[in-house]
């Protein structure tokens, strides 16, 4: 058996091969991005995303190349002077450091693994507040309760969420954010090379006012094309096609998220029986529904990864500072339920034998 729990690039939906063949047979990969067939494809893909992920109809969807590109687009096109970046892990910190290269006064506010971000030092009229909805490096997520308070407390600010490892797994309350983005090689279960950016009317207006037009990927240029169902450069058409067919075939996000939560509860319950491993984060509310992070002695984690590999199980390495004493497990919808049962049995066996 082949098990892949890596949190990105992650296990592909098994249907991907068939969708790819269909794209080739249809000839869509040989059409240009201003053709009627591409425009039709892009337009239906956006509608399908809205209906399957419950995205508000007045939000706009654009496609770019990666989540990293979204960091740069946001810094270029949605921020005039400075943004505030809240993080408890490596991806959020990277977003801040990329932004700082463009806006040197952008502020970093770090917070602990089992707490909400602190808002005391934030200007009431801050332009943009940046959060990593799901911190892939340590398996924590922002609480919806916190998102609601944030929205109420900062009615004039744009709120941006990096949802790279949660979009297409979590059922979001989209109205609580103005910019949400994700690359598709994580929770979407597709090959790398495409990112989806979902933008509120308020963010659209702010970009218009800032009127930044200096770059090939200036947001105003991207959105002008997207509103005509075109893109600002030749996009990853195969990935747009895969996304289209995937969205046609998946259940509504509400059912998908519920199943992930059931798997998460089962997983963390069983993990309590394992003496040599602990959850990095103990309180259930801060634990991500889509990425699990477990901690152990360095030699135990090393041995575990070796044993797993022998059994055809790919686990996610620890990330950044947590590289040696943790490992990560994706809880993404493309991975079948049975794989988690097999994984838990493997972990229980490992614990008994070592």
Ligand X SMILES: *Cc1c(COP(=O)(O)O)cnc(C)c1O
Binding track over 128-157 against ligand X, x by CB under 6 A: ----x---x---------------------
Give the residue, chosen from 93, 107, 127, 162, that forms a contact with ligand X under the rule CB under 6 A. 162
φ and ψ at residue 108, rounded to 5 degrees:
-105, 130
Q: Check residue 194 for interaction with ligand X (CB under 6 A).
A: no
List the interface residues with ligand X, window 69-108 (CB under 6 A).
Answer: 91
List the one residue out of 139, 131, 30, 117 whose CA is nearest residue 83.
Answer: 131
- Residue 294's nearest CA partner among 272, 265, 262 is 272
Binding to ligand X by CB under 6 A, coded x per residue (else -) over 303-342, reads ----------------------------------------
**Minimum separation from the CB atom of position 216 to ligand X (A):** 17
Q: Which is nearer to ligand X, 45 or 132 (CB)?
A: 132
CB of 132 to ligand X, least distance (A): 5
At residue 170, the 3 state secondary structure works out as strand
Rounded-to-integer distance, Cα 100 and Cα 163, Å? 20
Residue 164 in contact with ligand X, rule: CB under 6 A: yes
DSSP 127: S
What is the CB neighbour count within 10 angstroms for residue 348?
14
- In the list 3, 8, 23, 326, the residue contacting ligand X (rule: CB under 6 A) is 8
The H or E element spanning position 345 is helix 337-353
Q: Min. distance of Cβ 212 from ligand X in angstroms?
A: 21
Q: Which is nearer to ligand X, 146 or 346 (CB)?
A: 146
Alpha-carbon span 28 to 260, nearest angstrom: 34
Q: Are the beta carbons of 236 and 65 closer than 8 angstroms?
A: yes
Q: What angle do CA 170, 174, 71 make, to 5 degrees?
A: 85
Q: What values do phi and psi take at 279, rounded to 5?
A: -70, 140
Angle (CA) 222 225 226, round 5°:
80
**Residue 149 phi, psi (nearest 5):** -60, -40
Out of 37, 47, 54, 68, name the contact with ligand X by CB under 6 A.
68
Does residue 165 belong to the site contacting ligand X (CB under 6 A)? Answer: yes
Q: Which is nearer to ligand X, 84 or 350 (CB)?
A: 84
Closest to ligand X by CB, 7 vs 350, is 7
| Number of residues engaging ligand X in binding (CB under 6 A) | 12
Place of tokens 């090689």: 185
Distance between CA 123 and CA 146 in Å, rounded? Answer: 18
Instruction: Report residue 130: phi and psi, to 5°.
Output: -115, 125
- Taking the complex as a whole, the smallest distance from the CB of residue 123 to ligand X amounts, in Å, to 25
Quick one: 186 or 264, whose CB is closer to ligand X?
186
> Smaller CB distance to ligand X: residue 114 or 193?
193
Unique residue bearing structure tokens 């047979």: 25
Cα(216)–Cα(76) distance, integer angstroms: 11
- Residue 13 or residue 91: which is nearer to ligand X going by CB? 91
Does residue 212 touch ligand X according to CB under 6 A? no
Q: Does 183 bind ligand X (CB under 6 A)?
A: yes
Asked if 67 interacts with ligand X (CB under 6 A), we say: yes
The nearer residue to ligand X, 70 or 256, going by C-beta atoms, is: 70
Choose one: 66-74, 100-108, 211-219, 249-257; the region binding ligand X (CB under 6 A): 66-74
Min dist CB 294 to ligand X, Å, is: 18
Nearer Cβ to ligand X (28/64): 64
Q: Is 66 in the site for ligand X (CB under 6 A)?
A: yes
Alpha carbon distance 197, 89 (integer Å): 22
* Upstream peptide bond of 9 is cis (omega within 30 degrees of 0): yes
Interface positions with ligand X (CB under 6 A): 8, 66-68, 91, 132, 136, 162, 164-165, 183, 186
């Amino acid at each position: 058996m082949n098990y892949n729990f890596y949190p990105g690039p992650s296990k592909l939906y098994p249907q991907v091969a068939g969708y790819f063949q269909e794209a080739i047979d249809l000839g869509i990969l040989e059409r240009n991005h201003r053709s009627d067939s591409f425009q039709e494809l892009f337009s239906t893909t956006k509608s399908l995303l809205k209906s399957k992920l419950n995205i508000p109809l007045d939000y706009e969807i654009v496609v770019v190349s990666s989540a990293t590109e979204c960091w740069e687009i946001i810094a270029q096109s949605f921020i005039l002077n400075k943004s505030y970046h809240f993080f408890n892990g490596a991806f959020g910190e990277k977003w801040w450091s990329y932004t700082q290269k463009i806006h040197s006064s952008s502020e970093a506010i770090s917070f602990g693994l089992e707490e909400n971000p602190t808002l005391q030092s934030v200007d009431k009229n801050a332009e943009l507040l940046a959060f990593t909805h799901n911190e892939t490096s340590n398996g924590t997520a922002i609480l919806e309760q916190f998102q609601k308070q944030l929205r109420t407390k900062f009615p004039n600010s744009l709120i941006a969420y990096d949802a790279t490892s949660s979009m297409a797994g979590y059922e979001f309350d989209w109205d609580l954010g103005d910019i949400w983005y994700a690359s598709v090689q994580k929770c979407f279960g597709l090959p790398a090379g495409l990112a989806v950016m979902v933008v509120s009317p308020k963010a659209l207006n702010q970009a218009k006012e800032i009127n930044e037009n200096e770059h090939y990927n200036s947001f105003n240029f991207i959105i002008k094309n997207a509103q005509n169902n075109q893109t600002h450069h030749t996009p990853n058409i195969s990935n747009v096609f895969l996304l289209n067919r995937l969205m046609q075939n998946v259940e509504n996000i509400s059912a998908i998220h519920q199943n992930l939560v059931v798997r998460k509860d089962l997983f963390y319950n069983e993990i309590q029986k394992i003496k040599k491993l602990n959850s990095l984060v103990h309180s259930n509310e801060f634990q991500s529904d889509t990425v699990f992070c477990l901690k152990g002695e360095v030699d135990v984690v090393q041995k575990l990864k070796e044993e797993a590999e022998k059994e055809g199980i790919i686990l996610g390495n620890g990330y950044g500072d947590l590289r040696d004493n943790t490992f990560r497990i994706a809880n993404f919808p493309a991975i079948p339920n049975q794989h988690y049962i097999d994984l838990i049995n493997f972990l229980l066996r490992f614990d008994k034998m070592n």
